[in-house]
């Protein structure tokens, strides 16, 4: 799938740089050409010789190197690639990118390129969570930079949390999605997914059993067809797909704000299992057990209906709005009524009665309800449902 593609791989200075050597190998196995650029700090972790050996190409390290300028200037180097990949993307490199600094070869290439940039961050968990880093990440996402990871796990520094660089094959999947020259290239599609968590107090919340599997598969299939996907996800069990712009949220209200911020879009798929109600006045401090034994009473408020809000928007309404209807009784009748009530174009209806094993399972049996009527799809894997739906969306948007 990457045959003939040219990747400019910037290797930053982090312990994860050793994985970037494997990344070069994996990309070349798939037919890509890789030109490595190693920052000065990166060279403390991997040598230009090993990167050059694996890439079977010259490795670039210095901005002011006359030989290199004579062979290929930094502007040309930044534009001859199909995609610029930064792995590991350190806090320093992300900061330079967000701030528009260009004081070495890597940062100058990143400023000069006219190609998409995909980054695989790697840093200590505290650095990743630092407000300065999160501000930079938000700026870069706004600029259209694609993120793969970071993953959560044990780190070389002994701490635990998000900050580990994604594995080479995850980065390859992100690169393949970014370079997919599919029928949805140039289309922006928004996908909501997962459950929402509605706080009761700082330690307790109300949630539902959605795993996020179907929404994740849909986002991945759309990206596979070349769409530029914004993936707004509640706290799901499954990891978000590579090659999409992930916006993590907690509550229904957060999800609506993230959806509004992501618009305009050509299409929108609302696969999230949004909580219909939230606790009216969630407590700022942990609710303590009453020593006299009286029980707390929770009062609920209605959450915004995100699908309905977007379906009924004026100018900013995406051309195609797709909702889901998870039902346990009278599936088609309820879903048809839901489609009319919400004002979306299509509803994907499914029976989530416990005996179907669909909620939390790997298969789904859905009916597509549109102006044309109800179309039953055979029971198939959630990945297959996602691929079929992505193809239908692609037909509708082209
Ligand atoms: N939805 C949403 N915002 C909500 C509730 C639901 O965007 N606050 C979306 C879901 O993502 C899904 C569709 O609406 O695409 C239908 O969700 P569902 O829970 O089946 O519908 P409800 O309107 O909540 O109806 P009910 O629970 O009464 O069946």
pLDDT digits (tens, 9 = 90+) for 94-142: 999 999 999 999 999 999 988 899 999 999 999 999 999 999 999 998 7
pLDDT mean over 304-309: 98
Q: What is the pLDDT of residue 68?
A: 58
Q: How far is the CA of 304 from the centre of ligand 1 (A)?
A: 10
Q: Which atom of ligand 1 is nearest to the CA of 322?
A: 15
Closest CA to ligand 1's atom 8: 305
Closest CA to ligand 1's atom 4: 305
Strands 204-206, 146-147: pairing is unpaired
Q: Which of 56, 154, 156, 157 is catalytic?
A: 157
> What class, spelled out in words, does domain 6-178 have in CATH?
alpha beta
Residue 74 has pLDDT above 80, yes or no: no
DSSP string, 153-183: EE-TTS-EEEEEPPPHHHHHHHHHHHH---T
Q: What is the pLDDT of residue 83?
A: 95
Q: Are 90 and 123 in contact (CB under 8 A)?
A: yes
The average confidence (pLDDT) of the chain is 92
Q: Identify which has the larger pLDDT, 243 or 297.
A: 297
DSSP string, 226-286: T-EEEEEE-S-SSPPPTTSEEEE--SHHHHHHHHHHH---SEEEE--B--SEEETT--SSP
Residue 72 has pLDDT above 80, yes or no: no
Decide: 249 in ligand 1 pocket, CB within 6 A.
Answer: no
Q: How far is the CA of 274 from the centre of ligand 1 (A)?
A: 6
pLDDT over 70, % of the chain: 98
Q: What is the pLDDT of residue 292?
A: 87
Q: What is the pLDDT of residue 374?
A: 94
Residue 69 has pLDDT above 60, yes or no: no
Q: Give me the residue spans of the domains in the chain.
A: 6-178, 188-397
pLDDT digits (tens, 9 = 90+) for 4-27: 999 999 999 999 999 999 999 999
Residues 6+ apart with CB under 8 A from 162: 125, 128, 129, 150, 151, 152
Q: What is the pLDDT of residue 67?
A: 60
In whole angstroms, what is the distance from residue 170 CA to residue 109 CA? 24
Burial letters 102-139, b for 16+ CB under 10 A, else e: bebbbbbbbebbebbbbbbbbbbbebbeeeebeebbeb
pLDDT mean over 335-356: 93
Active site residue 133: no
Q: State the Rg of the chain over Cα.
A: 23
Residue 164 has pLDDT above 80, yes or no: yes
CATH code for the domain defined by 188-397: 3.40.50.10300
Q: Identify which has the larger pLDDT, 142 or 318.
A: 318
pLDDT mean over 334-355: 94
Q: Do domains 6-178 and 188-397 have the same CATH topology?
A: yes
Decide: 270 in ligand 1 pocket, CB within 6 A.
Answer: yes
Nearest 5°: the CA angle 176, 182, 184 is 115
Written as six digits, the tokens of 337 are: 């009524």
pLDDT over 90, % of the chain: 73
Closest CA to ligand 1's atom 27: 276
Q: What is the pLDDT of residue 78?
A: 85
Lowest mean pLDDT among 155-169, 287-301, 371-385: 155-169
Q: What is the pLDDT of residue 360?
A: 66
Tell me the best of 191, 254, 307, 320 to mutate to test the pocket of ligand 1, counting ligand atoms within 8 Å of each CB and taking the most. 307
In whole angstroms, what is the distance from residue 63 CA to residue 189 CA? 38
3-class secondary-structure state, position 137: helix
Tell me the best of 231, 251, 253, 323 to mutate to test the pocket of ligand 1, counting ligand atoms within 8 Å of each CB and taking the most. 323
DSSP string, 350-369: EE--GGG--TTSSEE-EEEE
């Amino acid at each position: 799938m990457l045959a003939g593609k040219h990747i400019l791989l910037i290797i930053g200075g982090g312990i994860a740089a050793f994985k970037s050597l494997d990344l070069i190998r994996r990309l070349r196995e798939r037919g890509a050409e890789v030109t490595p650029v190693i920052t000065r700090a990166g060279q403390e972790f991997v040598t230009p010789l090993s990167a050059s050996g694996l890439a079977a190409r010259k490795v670039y390290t210095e901005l002011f190197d006359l030989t290199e300028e004579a062979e290929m200037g930094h502007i040309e180097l930044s534009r001859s690639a199909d995609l610029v990949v930064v792995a590991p993307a350190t806090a320093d490199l992300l900061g330079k990118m967000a701030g528009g600094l260009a004081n070495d070869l890597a940062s100058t290439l990143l400023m000069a390129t006219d190609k998409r940039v995909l980054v695989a961050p790697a840093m200590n968990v505290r650095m990743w969570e630092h407000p300065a880093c999160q501000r930079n990440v938000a700026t870069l996402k706004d600029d259209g930079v694609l993120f793969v990871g970071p993953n959560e796990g044990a780190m070389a520094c002994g701490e635990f949390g998000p900050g580990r660089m994604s594995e080479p094959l995850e980065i390859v999947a992100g690169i393949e999605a970014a370079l997919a020259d599919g029928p949805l290239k140039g289309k922006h599609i928004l996908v909501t997914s997962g459950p929402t968590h509605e706080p009761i107090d700082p330690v307790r919340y109300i949630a539902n059993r959605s795993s996020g599997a179907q929404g994740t598969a849909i986002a991945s299939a759309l990206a596979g067809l070349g769409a530029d996907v914004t993936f707004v996800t509640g706290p799901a069990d499954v990891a978000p797909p590579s090659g999409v712009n992930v916006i993590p949220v907690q509550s229904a209200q957060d999800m609506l704000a993230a959806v509004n911020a992501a618009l305009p879009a050509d299409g929108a798929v609302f696969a999230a299992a949004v909580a219909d109600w939230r606790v009216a006045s969630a407590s700022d401090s942990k609710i303590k057990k009453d020593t006299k034994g009286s029980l707390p009473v929770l009062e609920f408020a209605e959450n915004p209906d995100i699908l309905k809000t977007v379906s009924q928007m004026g100018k900013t309404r995406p051309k195609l709005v797709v909702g889901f209807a998870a039902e346990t009784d009278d599936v088609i009748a309820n879903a048809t009524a839901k489609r009319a009530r919400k004002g979306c174009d299509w509803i994907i209806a499914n029976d989530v009665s416990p005996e179907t094993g669909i909620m939390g399972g790997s298969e789904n049996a859905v009916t597509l309800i549109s102006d044309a009527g109800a179309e039953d799809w055979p029971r198939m894997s959630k990945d297959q449902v996602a691929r079929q739906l992505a193809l239908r969306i692609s037909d509708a948007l082209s």
